[in-house]
Amino acid sequence: MKLKSLTLSSFLFFLMQITFAQEIAIQTYSLRNQLPQDPVKYYEMIADWGIHAIEGGGLYDLSEVEYEQLFAENRLRIVGVGADYNQLLRDPTPIIQEAKKQGVKYATCYWIPHQEGPISLDEIKVATALFNEVGKDFQKEGITLLYHPHGFEFSPAGKGVVMDWMLENAENFAFNMDVYWVKMGGGDPLKIMKKHKGKFPMLHLKDRKIGTPNSNDGH
């Protein structure tokens, strides 16, 4: 599929686990500056590109009736919602309810609050414990909690990096890999996916100019 004049920063590959078919979706953060200005225009544009699966979504001042009608007319559907870390700490119920309302199977946490710079092994252990604990609540509702690495998880730890510990100890959650940010942190996306097969039902792809310096702070 050839997309003309495409300037979006990220796509999402939604991997259908049952059939092993891959579906191209888009994350609404890619159009964060456009959608609030004219949601009808840009949701229709997404459909015109031949993309009908969306991660994120949002009413953008539309009524729920207008939003549902817009999605129905353009055969759009939500495939994943966000899962704020602090909300997971307080109570995952609102996130689960939103996922059920949208009829999705995935909820992604995109950031672990930590001091500026790379995250420590102790901090990743705390986050892993949280994801494993609340992940059970998501599983009961047929939803998988995902974590989206952001590059700050690739500082040295033991014989590997901090991210290795989370990957090896993820029991009740999986991962939404962003290949751009994994590469930015110094990781090898393909090598990681091959080593931890089955842990990446979603995948973000972004352009990254050859020669771009790595960063270990997620920025």
14-18's contacts with Cβ under 8 Å and 24+ in sequence apart are 14/53, 14/55, 14/79, 14/80, 14/201, 14/202, 15/200, 15/201, 15/202, 15/203, 17/201
Q: Percent of the chain scored above 90 by pLDDT?
A: 86
Integer Cα distance of 38 and 104 in angstroms:
25
Mean pLDDT of the chain: 91
Per-residue pLDDT at 185 exceeds 90:
yes
pLDDT tens profile 79-100: 999 999 999 999 999 999 999 9
Residues in the chain: 219
pLDDT at 140: 98
Place of tokens 């456009």: 34
Quick one: pLDDT band at residue 23, thresholds 50, 70, 90?
confident
* Distance (Å, whole) CA 144 – CA 99: 10
Q: How many CB atoms lie within 10 A of CB 74?
A: 17
* Helix/strand/coil for 33: coil
Phi and psi at residue 14, in whole multiples of 5°?
-95, 105
Q: Name 54's bridge partners.
A: 26, 78
Token pair of 161 as six digits: 């990096």
Predicted confidence (pLDDT) per residue in 38-67, tens digit: 999 999 999 999 999 999 988 999 999 999
Average pLDDT for residues 181-189, to the nearest whole number?
A: 96
**pLDDT value of residue 22:** 81
Please name the amino acid found at residue 209: K
